Structure 1
Amino acid sequence: MAKRACVLCGEMAGSWSLCYITLCGTSQTLCEKCMRRYRDAAGEEKIALREYMARSPHLREGEEVRERLPQARVQWQRELEQAQERRQQEEQRQAQVKKTARCCGQDMTKLGVSTFQLGEHTFLGGDLDHLLSGSMKMAVFRCEVCGRLKFFDPEWVQ
């Protein structure tokens, strides 16, 4: 059983406990603990771990990594900026939902997502229109003061 050193911590691990990660187009070895740490890292911490791996004495194919590192850094920075932009957009959307789901000066209570049947029951057609029209899901909010209900697209509310 071949043992390899983790590119982050240097710990020797057997084949059964090895994980692999791609760094600058090369395959690098991580132990399970470091893989969890890398997977759970976000933003700047993940970039710092990548930078540390690129300088690690346990790095495999080091020349290739160092050659591709400037391009990778540009890509990492772009990923970080995109993640920050997505987070900012999500915060703005959540603020808009909170602002929209207000009534009588307070937040409305979310009742959940309900399915509403489209179509109508007619004398001649019976429930056929219900079957053909389908249904629609909506997020329902209620004001505890006045009882007003508001309906929203459930994907927009999440």
Structure 2
Amino acid sequence: MAEILMASPIIGVGIMILDMNENVLLGLRVKSGEEVSWCFPGGKIDIGETFEQSAVRETFEETGLELDLKGMQVFTMFIDRAASYTNTTVGLMYKLNDSLLKETVQVTEPDIFQKWDWFSLSNLPCNLFPQTEAMLNIWKDEPLSSQWVRYLIKS
């Protein structure tokens, strides 16, 4: 009998960081084997981490930005139904309250990110990473394609 191999489910976090002017931090993702796109900091949750702990860790690993765990706020969760495995993303938001923190953002993983930049929510680049685009649509209360199943988070 042939064995069916199935990918393990993935739970990841995406972190929408807003500055004092409601600009959002996006990284130009140039990871080998993927289409070049702009995305939020994020990644897979490690065993034993909370969503917030994972978000703080991933943000630091990818940008060098040290964020306060207490400032992380989960605002959505969604599933990519088009993926060949269960791919769940938890969207978190962090509002910077110190403009000097913006100056600490750096490229720490040059094999994945070419640069980081700040964008107005009304003037975003076109080539967004799919999960980032879904998070932004949810944040701006815009429709999602049928690829995504969204779960509301009540605060």
What band does the TM-score fall into relative to the shorter chain? under 0.3
Q: Larger radius of gyration, structure 1 or 2?
A: 1
Question: In proportion to residue count, which structure has more strand?
Answer: 2
Higher relative contact order by CA 8 Å / sep ≥ 6: 1 or 2?
2
Question: In proportion to residue count, which structure has more helix?
Answer: 1
Q: Normalising by structure 1, report the TM-score.
A: 0.22
Q: Normalising by structure 2, report the TM-score.
A: 0.23
